Structure 1
């Protein structure tokens, strides 16, 4: 899940557009590597992803149940990591696979390719996608680019870059489509977060009193900024969670749908949606929203998959995924019942401080089946 600096990087084609005509902000390449790419250079992180059976099964099945897309074809693996997708592509019959990786994980990928006797097919290339030059166009681009709630990490930018530069006009994207979902949930996490925030403030007041008594310095002037800092951490930062389906209390709403063959960076810089959900449980607490995604391997209209495969990160009775779900808590919680409707607005943009992190604004109005309308609320969240 990582191999390209978003848009223009230091020293690379300043002023390049992002595919939608607008100039892309300059991103410091060294800072971006330190904040993001370095994590993917460690085998423990690769192991976490490789141990995700939902993830692995979906990609494995999409390749080996659709060998006609790979047999005798050229493939580009964007952000190859350990090289597993490149290896599968070769095992499915690809003529040539270019496996691009921005970190020193490329050395491990190269060793893995050699150990599986595929060095004649798979070529591992170390470098960012923006910098890499291939000797030919490719028939297939495969990548596991999805971050938390789909777009965190902004790695899809690299896939768009690779597609626009190297995919043949008849080429296929793996995955081909992606969707973002949200649904109302119930959880005890809301009370815990409030308790944690209150505990942090109690500790701060003890600290300021002790500092003034013991050392003669009054630090109470910093109480407000400390409180704001802790509110952001405990009450406004979305939480990673593996929700149980029984925690979902209403219908799931489609937030965003992406066609990986045609999407531009402009399409994902700002995700805006006005959606609704109906409560499906009697007399329960609306504690927040759960957000997840799914991706599909459908091929393209002119060359469809023989077997369409879905990878979903929705709340599951069985195995969860390492992505889990993002939970956006509501404080205070709201009593709702079956038949109530939630009308909510959703806006997600990239953080100004770090383009790989996200900021979300959620507004919600509860229309009760009795006809009453509860006061609307608006809240800002951070996906960090």
Structure 2
């Protein structure tokens, strides 16, 4: 099978200098008897450079607008004790090991900084949510004059030892605390870096903290990296997925358990999906410019229309481009209760909305309205 650029962006992978070779579903022959669900791809870009780089990371966020908007500054307003569970989850080494072993993620940041040292040389850099300090050390090696690394989780104590072990303590200053509550040893920074992307891109709402740091500490001509994210939507078909997750409950050892679908369907599944199941052309539903977007703009409603490229049935929605290199973000799958039949060339209209859960602003409520069918999902 011929290798080609990602069908969602048709460009290189995030911060990568090499062409992103992935098996594009647009070049595959689609079977006529598959079920479709929705695929959302998010491309995280560095647009100010001569050679744009992207990281394919997809998400679908959708919410019933009748629930009303959540507080735009919800994350900043959280007390430390209210946010303890979130930061505690990042205190254990295992989650950081998983992220560090994700070469697409880690090497993308490294290559971007090392190959653009002119951007970092002599600059003051703020790393929001530094974790083990890997991005801070990349920035220091790239020539930053000063790096301030901030994290509220207990992992920062390991980061302090790591920085000392690599003799970078004169360049990197680590601060434990929430960026919204601490004070920095400088008034302004030249660059903000962060690996804030979550499942479904916006899950955990860490971007809110990056935007707070941008508005509070970034110099007038300062830069934020990554700087742009494109969220794209595509339809995907997979009969086996629907059978395993939904139809399964119709007859379990000869017993009806269809009521279980009410518990199964609203809960998105994070897993890897097959690229050959994509059966529509992708559409960009949202572009997030990290240099100018506001927290309130991270909650939105968008209409879309997908051009179907294979006759099939619609069953599920998911996020993160399946035809790109695997990452720890995987894909977020949104199951549909019953298949939606579609034909090649048909336009499938729909609407998605993004809102934080008002009871837990790090969680997302997702409502998908497609072909007259509406379903609310909770990603938490």
Normalising by the smaller structure, the TM-score range is: 0.7 to 0.9
Provide closer, same or farther for how the CA distance between residues 143 and 242 of structure 1 changes in structure 2, counting only shifts above 3 A: same
Secondary structure, aligned partner of 1:41:
coil
Provide closer, same or farther for how the CA distance between residues 236 and 200 of structure 1 changes in structure 2, counting only shifts above 3 A: farther
Residue aligning to 1:29: 80
Matched, 1:184 2:241: no
In 1, Cα distance between equivalents of 2:232 and 2:253: 34
Aligned counterparts, 1:205-244, within 5 A: 227=259, 230-244=260-274
Q: How many residues were matched structurally?
A: 307
Matched, 1:252 2:258: no
Q: Deviations over 1:244-285 (max 9, x none)?
A: 2211110112121111011111111x221001111112x323
In 1, Cα distance between equivalents of 2:252 and 2:160: 48
Secondary structure, aligned partner of 2:280:
coil
Provide closer, same or farther for how the CA distance between residues 330 and 73 of structure 1 changes in structure 2, counting only shifts above 3 A: same
In 2, Cα distance between equivalents of 1:59 and 1:322: 15
In 2, Cα distance between equivalents of 1:201 and 1:378: 30
Contact 1:242 1:325 in 2 (8 A): yes
Aligned counterparts, 1:308-319, within 5 A: 314-316=321-323, 319=325
CA RMSD, Structure 1 to Structure 2 (Å): 2.3
Residue aligning to 2:337: 331
Asked which structure has the greater CA Rg, the reply is 1
**1:197: Cα distance to partner?**
4.2
Match of residue 124, structure 1, among 136, 151, 174: 174
Match of residue 203, structure 2, among 131, 138, 152: 152
**1:335: Cα distance to partner?**
2.7
Secondary structure, aligned partner of 2:230:
strand
In 2, Cα distance between equivalents of 1:333 and 1:316: 23
Contact 1:184 1:287 in 2 (8 A): no
In 1, Cα distance between equivalents of 2:364 and 2:73: 20
**1:238: Cα distance to partner?**
1.5
Residue aligning to 2:347: 341
Secondary structure, aligned partner of 2:81:
helix
Aligned counterparts, 1:1-384, within 5 A: 24=74, 26-34=77-85, 36-136=86-186, 137-187=188-238, 188-195=240-247, 197-198=249-250, 227=259, 230-268=260-298, 270-281=299-310, 283-292=311-320, 314-316=321-323, 319-365=325-371, 376-384=372-380
**1:289: Cα distance to partner?**
2.2
More helix by share: 1
Secondary structure, aligned partner of 1:30:
coil
TM-score, normalised relative to structure 2: 0.76
In 2, Cα distance between equivalents of 1:108 and 1:88: 17
Provide closer, same or farther for how the CA distance between residues 202 and 109 of structure 1 changes in structure 2, counting only shifts above 3 A: farther
Q: Deviations over 1:216-258 (max 9, x none)?
A: xxxxxxxxxx94xx44531121211212221111011212111
**1:199: Cα distance to partner?**
6.8
In 1, Cα distance between equivalents of 2:157 and 2:255: 47
Contact 1:77 1:141 in 2 (8 A): yes
In 1, Cα distance between equivalents of 2:103 and 2:305: 32
**1:286: Cα distance to partner?**
2.2
Q: 5+ residue gaps in structure 1? A: 1-20, 206-225, 293-313, 366-375
In 2, Cα distance between equivalents of 1:344 and 1:275: 5
In 1, Cα distance between equivalents of 2:210 and 2:183: 15
Residue aligning to 1:17: none
Provide closer, same or farther for how the CA distance between residues 289 and 108 of structure 1 changes in structure 2, counting only shifts above 3 A: same
Q: 5+ residue gaps in structure 2? A: 1-70
Secondary structure, aligned partner of 1:80:
coil
